[in-house]
Amino acid sequence: MLFSVIVPVYNREDEVRELLDSLTRQTRRNFEVVITEDGSTLPCGRAAEEYAAKGLDVKYFYKENEGRSIARNHSMERARGDYFVFFDSDCVIPADYFEKLERLLAEKPLDCFGGPDAADESFTTTQKAINHAMTSFLTTGGIRGGKVSLEKFTPRTFNMGYSRGVWERVGGFREMFSEDIDMSTRVRLAGFSIGLYPDLPVYHKRRVDFRKFLRQVYVFGMSRVTLKLLYPDSLKAVHCLPALFVIGVAAMSAMAVAVSPWWLLPLGVYLLAVFAAALVSTRSLAIAAKAVPASVIQLGGYGCGFLKAWFVKILLGRGRDEAEEVALRKGK
């Protein structure tokens, strides 16, 4: 069984080096790596050449900037694998990943699979706090690969794969925000099997600071409404919780000013629970302390993006707003 690792890249040379370095340490070498550079001004071709010289099966392509989905499709068209495995450029892959994957596919065959993400010991406390905010049941309901989840599992492209048969029938990714959720939905609607391999994690760096993280989750919130327009039944209660968080915090803050500060007590209890959960999970006071603002950013940013998109796209009926269209064209 041959796997084709598909990696779209845009100005991430240092990240690509770390990803390729982790792939050289795999206990099984039953894979090729296909990188498509999406019009970067800081290309990673030299890094690809260096690791190819070290024995890694790397194919590198450069094309004009059209977006990460188009870059993934470009790689798949040139790949030889029986399965396509998708990683983001900011991932580090555990050494036994492909050994585990081959065994899992034999024991529990799936047409499309995904795994969770984790924080490597080398990550900064901010990265670890953001990782906790994006994976904790208290913030996301476990929808990003948790063993307990409020929604049916949906593979994400930081750790996702599907068979060549899926690609031949369903096609490639659409150039849009949350393109992995769109793809997973199309795969499921086509009748293919989809599932989570909970013991197949990758180390996902995500955003390195809170400002970039805020922008990312804001876009996630907007894209959830776009997905509702594409698939009306795809919106679940768990997707609305961040918006309710934003509305609730605004209402409690107003009541705290107008009536009594005690109105902020429920928020304080919730944030204390976030801190405690992070402390138990990470065993680090520093990470737990940063997990509190990271969780507020995760919920608040997503909720604000969701509310804005709902107002513009649903209530006003305008579909995608101008800012999103620009970002889509640029592939950001």
pLDDT tens digit string along 28-72?
999 999 999 999 999 999 999 999 999 999 999 999 999 999 999
Residues 6+ apart with CB under 8 A from 304: 218, 221, 246
> What stretches in the chain show pLDDT beneath 50?
148-150, 321-332
User: Is-contact 30 56, C-beta < 8 A?
Assistant: no
pLDDT score for 25? 96
pLDDT score for 261? 96
- CA dist 124 → 178, 208, 215, 216, 235 (Å): 26, 8, 20, 19, 34
pLDDT score for 207? 64
pLDDT score for 332? 35
Average pLDDT in the chain: 90
The identity of residue 93, as a single letter, is: I
**Residue from 60, 53, 15 nearest 34 by CA:** 60
pLDDT score for 121? 85
pLDDT score for 326? 42
Helix (H, G, I), strand (E, B) or coil at 151: coil
pLDDT score for 323? 44
pTM here? 0.84
